[in-house]
Amino acid sequence: MGLLDLLPWRRDKAPAAARDEDLFDEEFQRKLDYLALVSRRVFAGRLRAERRTKKSGSGVEFADHREYQPGDDFRYLDWNAYQRFDRLLVRLFEEEEDLAIYFILDTSSSMGFGTGDKLRYAKKVCAALAYVGLANLDRVSIVTTSDRVLERMAETRGKARIFKAFRFLRSLEAGGKTDLEDAMKTFVAQHKRRGLAVLVSDLYDPQGFERGINVLRYNKFDPFVVHVVDPAEARPKLHGDVLVYDCETGDEREVTVTAKLLQRFAEAQARYLEQVERYCASHQVPYVRASVEVPFDEMILRVFRRGGFLR
């Protein structure tokens, strides 16, 4: 720490950097090992059966039927079933192959808003899930997005590569606007290999969070939403006449903040979270709300319990 760091207006920056350094310390890594162990215990018996993607048509072992959707390959239509039930069903086969897990980490400015807790938390969640994935011999890749794909950690596998992931995550900083649709379009264009796409974001997308998720869905990725939420954002410390501006778009708005208005804001925030959750539930998109006030390891266990990540 330099002398300048002793200045009062610089003090809050120095500890933030220190916190970033400590993000993946030994304690964190011990917790990762524990989580990996837990994930194996939970799914004991299927440990060796590596994850399998549902990739219709290319496997040999019949897995399931599903409704025909426009665009599906006619070759996989189950004509027998059609004769029997008068419904168009597509046969699904399990294809034994490595699962590709993509961690799409939102690093827009809103993720670093305030004390930056959301981004730090997102990094931890990302690292933990990546570790579990690496430990299960999955191919893990991390990409960061704002209104586009910013950086990318190439696919890798094996537990020992987690340090690469740590380094990558450490280097990330918040900045830029959120446009999930554009970013996801770029992502799917760059990643032909389908797989689990874990979107770790606060979903503050002015264009609508659904559009980005839909891009993943429509391109046969299995989206998994980790919604990073900072409860403090529902209780902004504002009062009186203020000019509020969006930290990403810079949109300004004159507001006279009263207690009643703050209450309505908290309600609107809660409604927004419910809207996201409802959307994911209605579209069978696994959804986990990750509050920064919940310890990250407990959060990961929640992800395990929720299902959809471990198969």
Partner 1 sequence: MIFAGLPLAQLAAIFFAVGFGVLVLYILKLRRRVAAVPFSPIWERILRDKEATTLFSKLKRLLSLLLQLALLALLVLALGDPRAADTLLAGRTVVVLVDASASMQSTDVSPNRLAAAKDETRRLVRGLGGADRMIVAQMDAMVTPLGPLTSDTSALERELDGIRATDTRADFPRALRFATDVLRGYDRGEIVVVSDGALGEASDASGPVHLGSAKLSYVKVGKGAKNVGITQFSVRRYPLDKSRYEVMLELTNTGPESEDVELQLLGDGELVDLTKLRLKSGERLPRFYPQLSGAARTLEARIARTDGTHDDLPADDHAYALLPQRRRAKVLVVTEGDTYLDAALLLDGYLDVTDVAPKEYAPALAKGDWDAVIFDRVTPAEMPKTNALYLDPRGPGAPVKVDRELKQPGFDKIERRHPAVRFLALDDVNIALGHKLVPEAGDKVLGAADGGASPILVAGARAGHKFVAMGFDVRDSDLPLRAAWPLFVLDCIDWFTDDDAQYLSSLRTGEVWRLPVGAAVSEAAVKRPDGVTQSVPVHEGRAVLLGEESGFYELTAGAETTMFAANLLDASESSIAPQDKVLVAGKEAGVVEGFHSGVRREIWIYLLLAAAALSALEWATYHRRVTV
Our finding on whether 22 is near partner 1 (CB under 8 A) is no
CB 225 within 8 A of CB 287: yes
Residue from the set 2, 74, 253, 259 that interacts with partner 1 by CB under 8 A: 253
Q: How far is the CB of 168 from partner 1 (least distance, A)?
A: 24
Select the span of 60-68, 91-99, 129-137, 235-243 touching partner 1 (CB under 8 A): 235-243
Q: How far is the CB of 35 from partner 1 (least distance, A)?
A: 29
Q: How far is the CB of 255 from partner 1 (least distance, A)?
A: 7
Residue from the set 117, 179, 233, 297 that interacts with partner 1 by CB under 8 A: 233
From CA 65, how far away is CA 17, in angstroms rounded? 51
CB contact set of 138 (below 8 Å; sequence gap of 6+): 50, 51, 98, 99, 100, 101, 157
Sign of CA dihedral 274, 214, 73, 193: negative
Token reading at 304: 């395990």
From CA 99, how far away is CA 198, in angstroms rounded? 13
3-state SS, residue 132: helix
* HSE-CB of 303 using CA atoms within 13 angstroms: 31
Our finding on whether 256 is near partner 1 (CB under 8 A) is yes
Q: How far is the CB of 211 from partner 1 (least distance, A)?
A: 14
Residue from the set 245, 274, 278, 293 that interacts with partner 1 by CB under 8 A: 245
Q: Which residues bind partner 1 (CB under 8 A)?
A: 110, 113-114, 202, 204, 206, 233, 236, 238, 240-249, 251, 253-256, 258, 261, 264-265, 268-269, 272
